[in-house]
Amino acid sequence: MMNRISSASACMLTILFSGCTDTQKREIMVTPISPKTNSAERQFKLAPLPYAYNALEPYLDARTMEIHYTKHHQGYVDKLNQVLEKYPELYDKSIEYLLTHLQELPETIRTGVRNFGGGYYNHTLYWNNMTSQRNGKPTGALAKKIDATFGSFEKFKEEFNKQAATLFGSGWTWLIKKPDGSLAIVNTQNQDCPLSDGNIPLLVIDIWEHAYYLKYQNRRPDFIDSWWHVVDWNEVEKRYAMTT
């Protein structure tokens, strides 16, 4: 028995070593066959939704929330992990890192990370800037900055609504902080993320039809009006404070 195993190992080594220099043979001998960390454990994971599916009723309905989270968001995470399979070392990077360094990623996975990594990050932010605990207006430093930038909170909302309502196709409407510290309202197409343009996302609404079609059908402005009721300004303020 021992002899059979030994000869099988010897045969394996002969195949492994064929054409190798002595240095390469030594490297093969000291290199573990499999990495120490299981790549499945390193993969990106869907964080739990921070509230129940029905928590944002009647503004966002439970069925939409459930499908959006368990199908759409989960799908983005799964596809992101698939895209990174050939570069498992990238599982160890944060999603923020990947999205801010798109141009440095291998070209073959750049579009995949942009689309699926964006979908993963954007939805996480979207869930986290909504709450069932109504807090309808920003306060403190962010409120002052919004007033100074847009004239008033009402004018900010008006401009945000206009941009969200007129976004063509699928995408996201954001309040961002630019590198020079100023605030702006911008739209991104598909799953593009402001991080990839060097901006910091503060607040976001999902303008893909899957975010509202079951309850609002083609009435996107009604969905946007409802969404303001569940914006978590405490969370947005926290994000803003972290950047100042």
Residues that bind Mn ion in the complex, under the rule CB under 5 A: 72, 206, 208
Nearer to Mn ion (CB atom), residue 120 or residue 233:
120
Q: How far apart are CA 13 and CA 241, in angstroms?
A: 59
Minimum distance of Mn ion from residue 68's CB (angstroms): 6
Minimum distance of Mn ion from residue 126's CB (angstroms): 7
Nearer to Mn ion (CB atom), residue 75 or residue 88:
75
**Residues paired with residue 187 on neighbouring β-strands, in sequence order:** 173
Minimum distance of Mn ion from residue 58's CB (angstroms): 20
Nearer to Mn ion (CB atom), residue 208 or residue 216:
208
Minimum distance of Mn ion from residue 187's CB (angstroms): 15
Biggest CA pair distance of the chain? 85
Nearer to Mn ion (CB atom), residue 64 or residue 131:
64
CA count, 13 A, side-chain hemisphere, 14: 6
Nearer to Mn ion (CB atom), residue 136 or residue 169:
169
Minimum distance of Mn ion from residue 72's CB (angstroms): 5
Q: Please identify the residue of the shown chain whose CB is closest to the bound Mn ion.
A: 206
Nearer to Mn ion (CB atom), residue 118 or residue 138:
118
Minimum distance of Mn ion from residue 27's CB (angstroms): 46
Which among 122, 130, 132 is positioned nearest to 207, based on CA atoms?
122
